Amino acid sequence: MKKILDILYSTRLMAVLFFAFAIAMGVATFIENDYGTQTSKALVYNTWWFELIMVFFVINFFGNIFRYRLYKKEKWSVLLFHVSFLLILIGAGITRYISYEGLMVIDEGETTNQFYSEHTYLNVIIDNGEFQKTTANKLLLSAWGKNSVTFKENFQPKKEGKNHEVTFNLVDYIPWSETKMVLDENGTEHLFFVESSDGSRHEHYIKKGTIENIHNILVGFEAPNKEAASINFFYEDGSLKMISKNDGDWFRMADQKKGLIVKDSAQHFQLLTLHNVNGLQFVVPKSPEKGEIKTVRGKKDDKKYDTVIFDVTTNGETKRVEFYGGKFNVDNQQQFSIGDLNFRAWYGSKLLQTPFSIKLNDFQLEKYPGSESAAAYASEITVIAPDETFDYRIFMNHILDYGGYKFFQSSYKIEGEHEQTHLSVNHDFWGTWITYIGYFLLFFGLTAALFVKGTRFYDLKQSLVKIRNKKTKLSVIVLFISLAGFAQHKQHEPKQITETQIDSILIANKVDNKHADLFSSLVIQDAGGRMKPAHTFASELVRKVAHVDKFKDMDPSQILLSITENPMLWLNVPFVYLEDGNTQVREILGVPEDAEYARFIDFYNKDGSSKISKLVVEAEKKKIQNKFEKDIIKIERRVWLLSQALGGGMLRIYPIPNDENNKWVSQPETLQANFKGTDSVFVRQSLPVYLQLLQASKKSGNYTETNKVLDGIKKFQRKFGSEVIPAKDKIDLEIAYNKLNIFVKLSKYYGYVSLLLIVFVFLQIFNNKPWVNNIVKVLIGIVIFLFVFHVLGLAARWYISGNAPWSNAYESIIFVGLATMLFGLILGKKSSLTIAATTFLVSVILMFAHQNWLDPEIANLQPVLNSWWLYVHVSVIVASYGPFAMGMILGIFSLFLIIFTNEKNKKKMDLHIKELTVINEMALTVGLVMLTIGNFLGGMWANESWGRYWGWDPKETWALISIMIYAFVLHMRLIPGLRGRFTFNLWSILAFASIMMTYFGVNFYLSGLHSYASGDKVITPTSVYYSIAFVAVLGTLAWIKNKKYYKK
């Protein structure tokens, strides 16, 4: 028994569990991405072996409390967070096996106490005309591999009567099922009928000799009773014809030809032509084909239902039944009989009930100004219980907790006047509270472990003091290698103008800088409803289209004014950026191979058709795109953006008076915006008059009258748009923020200072003279000064947006850089080498933030992010990446020091390696504490927003994987064979890959709830492969030297 316990409590088993758990979860996230959540649960999360890993974790945690005597008074903080994990796992077990959740759907004005279960079941009601039995068998099916499901039910209406044993055997599971026609020469002819009466595409296959009811219109194909069909297709003399009981019309898209459909008149039917009969719009794209209609597997789509096929057997008789359904389905019920038993069954949710009812009094949807994007939504409800009735308002991050049930504003459905709310329902009192107690102990224990005596972190701090005392007594000579490698107008074809002529025209017509500054503060409402100064709008336009901050010696506001004033000229300006090295694109456009930019007209043929649109459509169909395809998609987006600017539709500068959604419109849109009286005249005339005066002002140099008109537009904005227009100081700050471009400059300055600091720090090691020390101190002072500007830059962005500056990919990278620099300065306050390494890393992080695939645009928040949890959870978890990044760069520096160790410098080099390793371990400890706390704070936020604190979403799962990996790294000192500074530093580098996957990989490669910080989906950059090769070479060389000089 002792041997078994030794194994169960051993650090070796702990290491195996860490890795097994992390690998299983990592694989599951990719299974979920490709095959859906249900499959990942069926194959990993809900399997016996995965649960066994968690059981072993509980045993191992419990055993280590006694093995390492964590019950001693001086180790109370470590005991707390070990006990907390036990409670969290116990709470999770209660949640999984006892608790339940679902979705309550309520129409406005309706009352209900029913909700649909989260899990899917085969729900069956059996009756024999006298008695009835209801059963529900849970189904967890995998879209990958085979499924084996069999269950039995006994139906015995009377105690002494006959017992009917009913067996249900799964024959097939067809995920994301579609009804398709499979071609077969021996099959029956079918007419492929496509209609879009309710605004969305629907496909129908009408079997020859039948009539189908399509939106209450009977459509037949060779119907035996021709009089029964409103529309009937039939063959006559070998050609397809149509006869209709109603008049209609048709429109042939190929040649734009139109015609009429005369009722009760047979006429030749035209394929690929839009027909409209009695409100039914339809197209028959191809001639009828022979085949069979079958249910087949479709592409992964969580909005589509599945099909399960069961053989149902009782009393020796079997019937095969297809069930179409899935999550939250309670419809699509199948009725059938076997012998004297009647069945009604469906595949989907089980209907559950609350002990009280809820009435939806009013559903409220708030949109961003002038946009269809939801800013917030809420449900005004009345709770009707046996002993009380009260009103309540449920909205995102504000739940109803009543009678052991929690209700969360999940989503909604609005179709015309019909409004419907979707409330997530959770019944998990004990599981939640036990887990929350575990969270509290975890937060308290982890935080205390950083400050109290007797912990590993305290020992590391003491060790660092001893190392620094030794360093003051020794002169260390280090040989180190320098770090490198840093350092659509289609009416007529415009007359072509040479580039020299264009330059001269642009310069001659450039607006005065002072007036451009006045124009910069004009407020524009963007497509997402954000109110921004014209300078921001112009900067985004120039950056996205031309990939520069200035163009032809013109700042963004001057460019926007020039485009607005003379769009025909800008058709000929080479302004659309083309990716380097893509000669194929340039060949298609007919521009020189070395051209950096293309003109707008280069993208269109003489007949007005696009040269690249078909290529873009084909490229977007592919899951994996080559460089040409990715480039062509990016270029097409730039062309579209420029076309919107040229058309003037993006310049939404006029607020509609008393509009309930505070919508602003552009000058071309004012005709449809119902402006009245003098306002109508003003909005239609002010911009044309302004542009005319602007022409005269550029010639005379006198902008007085032009400024008056511009000021008039601004006054109009303040008068009718006062509810949404930003304050003047906010507008001025945003313009200054744009012009300063602080984070691009910080990237450069951090880089320059870090290289100088690295040089002088190593010079300090070689030659510890006062002047060298003074230069190092001055450089560290500059780093602190840059850090202050880093803080001020993020603070400015926070004030401008009104949201915490870590709510999208760009902002979070900037914040990671800030956190990295902060922890570098704190943990390395007496280690110049640590500060040098951290500064270099921050420079790389900020440079990374300004890659083409990240958009620095300030945008509106998703409704779920509009919460104080954004400040707590996201700030903590993103800031944790800073210490991990710091640990990674310190690991690299430590391995370099090992590589350049020799007999002469070994003793003194060893001190530097020890110092960096101790700081590295402290950084990883701080990072792990923050990541763990941040991840479980995220669980609490999820519980407040979605009704569950853990749902195996890829982002939270990969954060947990990172916790497992870094917990393993920090516990390696306890595992025989893995102790030592080389191993620790190498793993601090390797472990950072999990952070990169958590931070970027999940957003770009996996789908889930955490999509708010996503950029464009990208294929793995080549830099990843170079990084792997670099670490492999670095690790191998360091291992050789470590074995020679440090291996005991």
C-alpha 231/C-alpha 226 separation (Å) is 9
Percent of the chain residues topping a pLDDT of 90: 40
Burial of residue 272 (number of CB atoms within 10 Å: 0-12, 13-18, 19+) = exposed
Bridge pairing between strands 231-236 and 217-221: parallel
Residue 913: CB atoms within 10 A of its CB come to 22
The residue among 861, 786, 870, 795 whose CA lies nearest residue 820 is 786
Q: Which of 357-361, 381-385, 824-828 has the lowest mean pLDDT?
A: 824-828
Residue-level pLDDT at 1014: 37
339-361 per-position pLDDT tens digit: 889 999 999 999 999 999 999 99
Residues 6 or more apart in contact with residue 643 via CB below 8 angstroms: 488, 600
**How is the chain split into domains, by residue range?**
2-99+432-444, 104-114+354-427, 120-176+299-348, 177-297, 455-484+741-857+866-1045, 499-716
Q: Half-sphere exposure of residue 490, counting CA atoms within 13 Å on the CB side?
A: 9
Contact criterion met (CB below 8 Å) for 655 and 675: no
Both tokens assigned to 1024:
């990843």
User: What are the backbone angles phi and psi of residue 406, rounded to the nearest 5°?
Assistant: -120, 135
**pLDDT of residue 830 exceeding 70:** yes
Residues 6 or more apart in contact with residue 166 via CB below 8 angstroms: 126, 152, 153, 154, 155, 312, 313, 314, 341
Both tokens assigned to 781:
């002072």
**Higher-confidence residue: 933 or 383?**
383
C-alpha 820/C-alpha 810 separation (Å) is 16
Residue-level pLDDT at 387: 93
3-state secondary structure of 114: strand
**Which stretches of 175-216 are assigned E, i.e. beta strand?**
177-195, 202-207, 210-214
Round the average pLDDT of the chain to a whole number and report it.
85
C-alpha distances in angstroms, 990 versus 546, 570, 627, 796?
Answer: 38, 50, 29, 35
Strand partners, 411: 422
C-alpha 578/C-alpha 205 separation (Å) is 45
C-alpha 800/C-alpha 727 separation (Å) is 10
**Three-class DSSP labels, 965-1026:** HHHHHHHHHHCCCCCCHHHHHHHHHHCHHHHHHHHHHHHHHCCCCCCCCCCCCCCCCHHHHH
What is the value of pTM for the model shown?
Answer: 0.72
535-574 per-position pLDDT tens digit: 998 998 898 899 888 888 899 999 999 998 888 889 889 9
**pLDDT of residue 119 exceeding 60:** yes
**Three-class DSSP labels, 122-179:** EEEEEECCCCEEEEEEECCCCCCCCCCCEEEEEECCCCCCCCEEEEEEEEEEECCEEE
**pLDDT of residue 818 exceeding 70:** yes
Residue 27 pLDDT grade (very low, low, confident, very high; cuts 50, 70, 90): very high
